[in-house]
Amino acid sequence: MAQPPPRHATMLSLSNSNSNSNSHSNLSSTTTISTPQTQTHLPTPSQSSTGLRVPSNRKTIYDRHLNRSRNAELSRASFAFLFGEMVTYAQRRVTGIQDLERRLNEQGYPLGLRLLDLLFYRTVTGSSSSSALSSSSSTSASPPNRPLRILPLLHLIHGPLWRLLFTRPADALEHSVSPDTPNEYMITDNDPLVNTYISVPKEMSMLNCAAFVAGIIEGVCDGCGFEAKVTAHNQPTEMWPSRTIFLLRFGESVMEREKVLERAGVK
């Protein structure tokens, strides 16, 4: 309902998934989507149903624990090189800044869908504390639970998602003060990692490569069933020259549901 089909088709291109996707559809609101990650913890992957060859020593993604890389680290330089190359490549195929940002956004989107599953999976298997139910509480401590309302969703992004990606929470979370745009929320990152090693030429000063991260956020929102458009904007301050604001605009259907849920007392 949220996105036109082509987007999901995009994310499926590498994880052409197979039969057992339905068994864990409760993890994701969009049942047609399955990621390789979520399949890894299934006890008996039905490899026979796929045409894929597997190594005889069974070094497949199904045989590795999903939390294996949970606390793993890699070089920041490697990320910078890859991200830089991704931007350069995208730049060759676009018509302008907006187009470039759209492309970066599209590349982040499938990551959001996957990270969402990963976050939930780790919450479920990690700590089983029931305090998870009060997911609207704070952005710091409690593990994420599947959000039904906008605020818990935003906290999920601001806290757990940001920590997973950047090992720290985002710097601010705000609601639009304008009465005309109650559907707009802002998440601020004072110093986005993705922009650290990107130098933008003067004539492209509008460009913000954190559009990639905006795409990730959009994927998370959509994956939760919150249709949204997310964009990244430069808002430099003297202290934080690469400060970036992620503007989340939720769709009408989301806002309507929000009202219904509020009346029903759902948190």
Catalog residues that contact other proteins under the rule CB under 8 A.
10-11, 13-18, 35-37, 50-57, 59-61, 64, 68-70, 72-79, 81-86, 88-90, 93, 107-108, 110-111, 114-115, 118, 164-167, 193
Give the CA angle between residues 95, 98, 8 to the nearest 5°. Answer: 95
Closest distance to other proteins from the beta carbon of 248 (Å): 21
Closest distance to other proteins from the beta carbon of 17 (Å): 8
* Torsion sign across C-alpha atoms 216, 220, 225, 228: negative
The closest of 190, 200, 191, 42 to 125, measured between CA atoms, is 42
Q: Find the length of the chain.
A: 267
Nearest CB to other proteins, comparing residues 36 and 251:
36
Nearest CB to other proteins, comparing residues 15 and 137:
15
The closest of 220, 230, 224, 223 to 250, measured between CA atoms, is 230
**H or E element, residue 230:** strand 228-234
Closest distance to other proteins from the beta carbon of 127 (Å): 19
Closest distance to other proteins from the beta carbon of 34 (Å): 11
Nearest CB to other proteins, comparing residues 76 and 96:
76
Closest distance to other proteins from the beta carbon of 150 (Å): 25
Residue with tokens 């676009």: 94
Could you tell me if residue 186 is left (phi over 0), alpha (psi between -120 and 50 degrees) or otherwise beta? Answer: beta
What Rg value do the Cα atoms of the chain yield, rounded?
19
Closest distance to other proteins from the beta carbon of 216 (Å): 9
Q: How far is CA 10 from CA 84, 162, 241, in A?
A: 21, 24, 34
Nearest CB to other proteins, comparing residues 18 and 176:
18
Nearest CB to other proteins, comparing residues 88 and 237:
88
Nearest CB to other proteins, comparing residues 50 and 137:
50
